[in-house]
Structure 1
Amino acid sequence: MGRSQETFHKKEVRNKKEKKKREKEAKRLAKKEREKSSNLDDMIAYVDEFGMITSTPPDPNQKQEVKKENIEISIPKQDSAEAPDPVRKGTVTFFNESKGFGFIKDSETKESVFVHVKNVLDEDELRENDVVSFEVEMGEKGPIATQVRLVR
Protein backbone atom coordinates (compact mmCIF):
# COMPACT_ATOMS: atom_id res chain seq x y z
CA MET A 1 0.00 0.00 0.00
CA GLY A 2 1.55 3.32 -1.05
CA ARG A 3 1.58 6.46 0.96
CA SER A 4 -0.93 8.16 -1.23
CA GLN A 5 -3.59 5.79 -0.03
CA GLU A 6 -2.79 6.33 3.69
CA THR A 7 -5.50 7.78 5.80
CA PHE A 8 -5.14 10.97 7.76
CA HIS A 9 -5.00 9.03 11.04
CA LYS A 10 -2.11 6.82 9.83
CA LYS A 11 -0.12 9.89 8.74
CA GLU A 12 -0.69 11.50 12.11
CA VAL A 13 0.50 8.40 14.00
CA ARG A 14 3.64 8.15 11.78
CA ASN A 15 4.45 11.85 12.34
CA LYS A 16 4.06 11.46 16.13
CA LYS A 17 6.42 8.46 16.13
CA GLU A 18 9.04 10.36 14.10
CA LYS A 19 8.70 13.39 16.38
CA LYS A 20 9.17 11.15 19.46
CA LYS A 21 12.29 9.61 17.86
CA ARG A 22 13.80 13.05 17.19
CA GLU A 23 13.08 14.19 20.76
CA LYS A 24 14.63 11.03 22.19
CA GLU A 25 17.76 11.49 20.07
CA ALA A 26 18.03 15.14 21.16
CA LYS A 27 17.78 14.13 24.83
CA ARG A 28 20.46 11.47 24.34
CA LEU A 29 22.84 13.98 22.74
CA ALA A 30 22.15 16.55 25.47
CA LYS A 31 22.91 13.95 28.14
CA LYS A 32 26.19 13.07 26.41
CA GLU A 33 27.18 16.74 26.34
CA ARG A 34 26.41 17.12 30.07
CA GLU A 35 28.56 14.10 30.88
CA LYS A 36 31.45 15.53 28.86
CA SER A 37 31.11 18.94 30.44
CA SER A 38 31.04 17.60 34.03
CA ASN A 39 34.53 18.07 35.35
CA LEU A 40 36.05 14.73 36.30
CA ASP A 41 38.76 16.51 38.27
CA ASP A 42 36.14 17.71 40.76
CA MET A 43 35.31 14.11 41.59
CA ILE A 44 38.87 12.84 42.16
CA ALA A 45 40.28 12.76 45.68
CA TYR A 46 43.84 12.00 46.78
CA VAL A 47 45.25 10.61 50.01
CA ASP A 48 48.38 12.31 51.34
CA GLU A 49 51.23 10.64 53.28
CA PHE A 50 49.40 11.21 56.57
CA GLY A 51 46.21 9.46 55.39
CA MET A 52 44.19 12.67 54.97
CA ILE A 53 41.94 13.13 51.92
CA THR A 54 42.90 16.14 49.77
CA SER A 55 41.95 17.56 46.38
CA THR A 56 45.56 18.22 45.32
CA PRO A 57 47.58 15.46 43.67
CA PRO A 58 50.77 14.29 45.39
CA ASP A 59 54.09 15.88 44.45
CA PRO A 60 56.04 13.43 42.23
CA ASN A 61 59.34 14.80 43.62
CA GLN A 62 58.49 13.46 47.09
CA LYS A 63 57.86 9.96 45.80
CA GLN A 64 59.58 7.21 47.80
CA GLU A 65 60.75 3.99 46.24
CA VAL A 66 59.63 0.79 48.00
CA LYS A 67 61.35 -2.51 47.32
CA LYS A 68 58.95 -5.37 46.84
CA GLU A 69 61.11 -7.58 49.09
CA ASN A 70 60.39 -5.26 52.05
CA ILE A 71 56.59 -5.57 51.77
CA GLU A 72 55.24 -8.07 54.30
CA ILE A 73 51.91 -9.55 53.33
CA SER A 74 51.41 -11.90 56.26
CA ILE A 75 52.12 -11.68 59.96
CA PRO A 76 55.88 -11.77 60.54
CA LYS A 77 57.22 -14.74 62.47
CA GLN A 78 58.09 -13.93 66.05
CA ASP A 79 61.40 -14.95 67.52
CA SER A 80 61.32 -17.18 70.56
CA ALA A 81 63.62 -14.65 72.29
CA GLU A 82 60.82 -12.06 72.14
CA ALA A 83 58.36 -14.31 73.99
CA PRO A 84 57.20 -12.57 77.16
CA ASP A 85 58.07 -14.08 80.51
CA PRO A 86 55.00 -16.02 81.69
CA VAL A 87 55.79 -15.26 85.35
CA ARG A 88 54.63 -11.77 86.29
CA LYS A 89 54.79 -9.69 89.43
CA GLY A 90 52.06 -7.63 90.96
CA THR A 91 50.45 -6.28 94.10
CA VAL A 92 47.36 -7.67 95.80
CA THR A 93 44.82 -4.82 95.69
CA PHE A 94 41.91 -6.68 97.28
CA PHE A 95 41.54 -10.07 98.94
CA ASN A 96 38.47 -11.41 100.79
CA GLU A 97 39.68 -14.18 103.12
CA SER A 98 36.20 -15.42 103.96
CA LYS A 99 35.20 -15.91 100.31
CA GLY A 100 38.68 -16.89 99.10
CA PHE A 101 39.17 -14.56 96.16
CA GLY A 102 40.73 -11.23 95.32
CA PHE A 103 42.49 -9.16 92.67
CA ILE A 104 46.12 -8.58 91.76
CA LYS A 105 47.29 -5.48 89.91
CA ASP A 106 49.94 -6.47 87.37
CA SER A 107 53.04 -4.26 87.77
CA GLU A 108 53.80 -4.23 84.01
CA THR A 109 50.40 -3.90 82.35
CA LYS A 110 48.58 -2.29 85.32
CA GLU A 111 45.57 -4.52 84.65
CA SER A 112 43.58 -6.19 87.38
CA VAL A 113 43.76 -10.01 87.45
CA PHE A 114 41.36 -12.23 89.40
CA VAL A 115 42.91 -14.64 91.91
CA HIS A 116 41.29 -17.54 93.78
CA VAL A 117 42.62 -19.15 96.95
CA LYS A 118 42.94 -22.55 95.19
CA ASN A 119 45.60 -21.01 92.87
CA VAL A 120 47.78 -19.78 95.78
CA LEU A 121 50.80 -22.08 96.31
CA ASP A 122 51.92 -20.70 99.69
CA GLU A 123 50.18 -21.72 102.90
CA ASP A 124 50.19 -18.09 104.05
CA GLU A 125 47.02 -16.13 103.46
CA LEU A 126 47.22 -13.30 100.95
CA ARG A 127 46.67 -9.80 102.27
CA GLU A 128 46.26 -6.46 100.58
CA ASN A 129 49.50 -4.77 99.40
CA ASP A 130 51.40 -8.12 99.31
CA VAL A 131 53.81 -8.43 96.38
CA VAL A 132 53.28 -11.71 94.52
CA SER A 133 54.51 -13.52 91.44
CA PHE A 134 51.95 -15.27 89.26
CA GLU A 135 51.10 -16.59 85.81
CA VAL A 136 48.06 -15.47 83.81
CA GLU A 137 45.56 -17.78 82.12
CA MET A 138 42.29 -16.89 80.46
CA GLY A 139 39.24 -18.06 82.37
CA GLU A 140 35.56 -17.95 81.52
CA LYS A 141 35.18 -14.32 82.60
CA GLY A 142 38.67 -12.96 81.94
CA PRO A 143 42.28 -13.32 83.05
CA ILE A 144 42.96 -15.48 86.11
CA ALA A 145 46.14 -15.58 88.19
CA THR A 146 47.60 -19.07 88.70
CA GLN A 147 50.76 -20.31 90.44
CA VAL A 148 50.55 -17.40 92.90
CA ARG A 149 53.52 -17.06 95.31
CA LEU A 150 54.49 -14.38 97.81
CA VAL A 151 57.67 -12.52 96.89
CA ARG A 152 59.95 -11.92 99.84
Structure 2
Amino acid sequence: MFEGKVVRFNKQRGFGFINDGESDIFFFADSVLNREDFYIQEGLSVSFEIAPGYKGPQAVNITIVNEESAD
Protein backbone atom coordinates (compact mmCIF):
# COMPACT_ATOMS: atom_id res chain seq x y z
CA MET A 1 0.00 0.00 0.00
CA PHE A 2 1.09 3.53 -0.80
CA GLU A 3 0.05 6.74 0.95
CA GLY A 4 -0.52 10.21 -0.43
CA LYS A 5 -2.85 13.19 -0.65
CA VAL A 6 -5.47 14.15 -3.20
CA VAL A 7 -3.98 17.13 -5.03
CA ARG A 8 -6.63 17.63 -7.74
CA PHE A 9 -10.16 16.35 -8.19
CA ASN A 10 -12.72 17.11 -10.89
CA LYS A 11 -16.13 16.33 -9.42
CA GLN A 12 -18.00 16.73 -12.73
CA ARG A 13 -15.75 14.26 -14.56
CA GLY A 14 -15.16 11.90 -11.61
CA PHE A 15 -11.39 11.71 -11.62
CA GLY A 16 -8.35 13.30 -10.00
CA PHE A 17 -4.75 12.90 -8.95
CA ILE A 18 -3.03 11.71 -5.77
CA ASN A 19 0.52 12.80 -4.96
CA ASP A 20 2.62 10.14 -3.24
CA GLY A 21 5.52 12.48 -2.52
CA GLU A 22 7.23 11.75 -5.84
CA SER A 23 4.63 12.06 -8.57
CA ASP A 24 0.93 12.55 -9.30
CA ILE A 25 -1.06 9.37 -9.87
CA PHE A 26 -4.39 9.33 -11.71
CA PHE A 27 -7.54 7.90 -10.06
CA PHE A 28 -11.23 7.48 -10.77
CA ALA A 29 -13.73 8.43 -8.02
CA ASP A 30 -15.26 4.94 -8.09
CA SER A 31 -11.88 3.54 -6.96
CA VAL A 32 -12.42 5.11 -3.51
CA LEU A 33 -13.66 2.29 -1.26
CA ASN A 34 -15.06 4.16 1.77
CA ARG A 35 -16.86 7.10 0.22
CA GLU A 36 -20.53 6.50 1.16
CA ASP A 37 -21.16 9.80 2.95
CA PHE A 38 -18.08 11.40 1.64
CA TYR A 39 -17.13 14.27 -0.57
CA ILE A 40 -13.76 13.75 -2.27
CA GLN A 41 -11.71 16.92 -1.97
CA GLU A 42 -8.18 18.18 -2.28
CA GLY A 43 -5.95 17.65 0.75
CA LEU A 44 -7.39 14.30 1.86
CA SER A 45 -4.92 11.69 3.05
CA VAL A 46 -5.44 8.32 1.38
CA SER A 47 -3.83 4.92 1.08
CA PHE A 48 -3.97 3.08 -2.24
CA GLU A 49 -2.54 0.46 -4.55
CA ILE A 50 -1.19 1.07 -8.04
CA ALA A 51 -2.37 -0.84 -11.11
CA PRO A 52 -1.67 -0.42 -14.81
CA GLY A 53 -4.17 1.87 -16.49
CA TYR A 54 -4.96 2.75 -20.08
CA LYS A 55 -2.45 5.63 -20.19
CA GLY A 56 -0.11 4.59 -17.39
CA PRO A 57 -0.28 3.71 -13.70
CA GLN A 58 -3.40 4.60 -11.74
CA ALA A 59 -4.46 4.41 -8.11
CA VAL A 60 -6.98 1.69 -7.17
CA ASN A 61 -8.47 0.34 -3.92
CA ILE A 62 -8.22 3.82 -2.41
CA THR A 63 -9.05 4.15 1.29
CA ILE A 64 -9.52 7.51 2.97
CA VAL A 65 -7.22 7.89 5.97
CA ASN A 66 -8.91 11.07 7.23
CA GLU A 67 -11.65 13.39 6.11
CA GLU A 68 -10.00 16.68 7.03
CA SER A 69 -8.77 19.00 4.37
CA ALA A 70 -5.23 20.30 4.63
CA ASP A 71 -5.40 24.08 4.46
Same fold (TM over 0.5): yes
Query: Aligned to 1:118, what secondary structure does the other structure show?
Result: helix
Query: Aligned to 1:98, what secondary structure does the other structure show?
Result: coil
**CA RMSD after TM alignment:** 0.9
Instruction: Please give the per-residue CA displacement for 1:42-98, whole angstroms capped at 9, x wherever unaligned.
Output: xxxxxxxxxxxxxxxxxxxxxxxxxxxxxxxxxxxxxxxxxxxxx100010000111
Sequence identity percentage: 38
* Structure-2 residue corresponding to 1:112: 24
* Ranges in structure 2 where 5+ consecutive residues have no aligned partner: 67-71
2:12, 2:54 → 1: CA distance? 23
Aligned residue among 126, 130, 151 for 2:40: 126
In the TM superposition, structure 1's runs of 4+ consecutive aligned residues that sit over 4 Å from their partners are none
* Structure-1 residue corresponding to 2:69: none
* Structure-1 residue corresponding to 2:3: 89
Query: Aligned to 1:91, what secondary structure does the other structure show?
Result: strand
The structure with the largest alpha-carbon Rg is: 1
Deviation at 1:125, TM superposition (A): 2.3
Q: Does structure 1 residue 138 correspond to structure 2 residue 52? A: yes
Query: Aligned to 2:34, what secondary structure does the other structure show?
Result: coil
Amino acid at match of 2:20: D
Higher relative contact order (CA 8 A, sep 6+): 2
Query: Normalized per residue, which structure has more helix?
Result: 1
Amino acid at match of 2:9: F
Query: Aligned to 2:30, what secondary structure does the other structure show?
Result: helix
Query: Normalized per residue, which structure has more strand?
Result: 2
1:147, 1:116 → 2: CA distance? 10
Count of paired positions: 64
